[in-house]
Amino acid sequence: MKIEDIEYHVGGTRYVGQLAVDEQRAGKRPGILVAPEAPGLGDHVKKIIRRLADLGYVAFGMDYHGDGKVLADMGEVMKTIGVFMEDPTKIRVIAAEALKVLASQPQTDPSRLAATGYCFGGTTALELARSGADIKAAVGFHSGLGTARPQDAKNIKAKVLALIGTEDPIVPQDARVAFEKEMTEGKVDFRLNLYGLAGHSYSNPDVNAMNMPGFAYDETTDRRAWAAMIDLFDEVFGPM
């Protein structure tokens, strides 16, 4: 397994993502861009890219805070994310540059790309799709579904999959209804999977330490949501 930090630049800012690829496999293969939770490119997503690489994909975990840093102060995190949500063009541009890094790898088939992400990372994958990026699938695990530019759904080329817990305080029922309306009006091939009794960050075993109401790891939901993502990848790329 090759693990490599790769930098890219947007607007004078240096970003550092992490690539995972099994160099023992022959031939080009699909590339998966993975966007992390709001604090940044931490251990959770680094484990995810290794898991995807073990399955045969080329996986690149993106950075959107600069220098690959993980923010510890939640006030700083929310301030940064608020800027991205107010004007999604900014996060779309950063994600697009990270996608270029992924597509340029010698093992990557640039005609077979997808984006996935966790929490705000899922929102990032959806915003990349709304930008009209040439990706086959966009997946969000417990992701925020709202956008300042819902009209851009008409640009989506990807098949979209949102994996949401019914008890997620960040994604209440009205947000799910608005997302369904947005995707339908944009004529998007989309799926909205709801997982009963699951809350926010159900995929991250470390979230319980935060002791936040509505935030909890759920092994069963994590497993089911992962299987749903792989099922979509099998659909758009063929089995690995």
Strands 2-10 and 13-21: antiparallel
Neighbouring residues of 137: CB distance < 8 A, sequence distance ≥ 6: 114, 115, 116, 158, 159, 160, 161, 232, 233, 236
Instruction: Output the CA angle 124-126-131, nearest 5 degrees.
Output: 95
pLDDT at 143 over 90: yes
pLDDT value, residue 11: 94
Give the bridge partners for 159, in sequence order: 137
The CATH number of the domain holding residue 173 is 3.40.50.1820
Phi and psi, residue 72, nearest 5°: -95, -25
- Please give the pLDDT value at position 74: 87
Domain count, the chain: 1
Placement of tokens 């997982």 in the chain: 195
Q: How many other CB atoms sit within 10 Å of the CB of residue 140?
A: 31
Q: What is the mean pLDDT of residues 48-65?
A: 98
Q: Do 140 and 163 meet the contact criterion of CB atoms below 8 Å apart?
A: yes
Taking residues 20-37, report their average pLDDT: 97
Radius of gyration in angstroms for the set of CA atoms belonging to the chain, rounded to a whole number: 16
- Indicate the residue type of 27: G
Q: What 8-state DSSP symbol labels residue 8?
A: E
Strand segments (E) across 142-201 = 159-165, 190-195
pLDDT at 138: 99
> Structural domain of residue 207, as residue ranges?
2-237
Rounded mean pLDDT, 127-133 = 98
Arithmetic mean of pLDDT, 58-72: 97
Q: Which amino acid is at 96?
A: A
Does residue 200 register a pLDDT over 90?
A: yes
What totals of helices (H) and strands (E) does the chain contain, helices first? 6, 8
Q: What is the mean pLDDT of residues 100-125?
A: 98
Residue 118, C-beta contacts closer than 8 angstroms, at least 6 positions apart: 35, 36, 37, 44, 45, 48, 141, 142, 143, 201, 203, 204
Question: Which position has the token pair 């792989």?
Answer: 230
- The label of the residue with tokens 């950063």 reads 94
Lowest mean pLDDT among 77-81, 116-120, 225-229: 77-81
Average pLDDT over residues 232-238: 98
Q: What band does 39 get if pLDDT is binned at 50, 70 and 90?
A: very high
The pTM (predicted TM-score) of the whole model is: 0.98
pLDDT of residue 65 exceeding 90:
yes
Q: What is the mean pLDDT of residues 171-198?
A: 98
Mean pLDDT of 29-34: 98
User: Would you state the pLDDT for residue 152?
Assistant: 98
Among residues of the chain, what percentage have pLDDT more than 90?
99
Q: DSSP H helical segments within the chain, as ranges?
A: 43-54, 74-86, 89-103, 120-130, 173-185, 219-237
Q: What is the mean pLDDT of residues 191-218?
A: 96
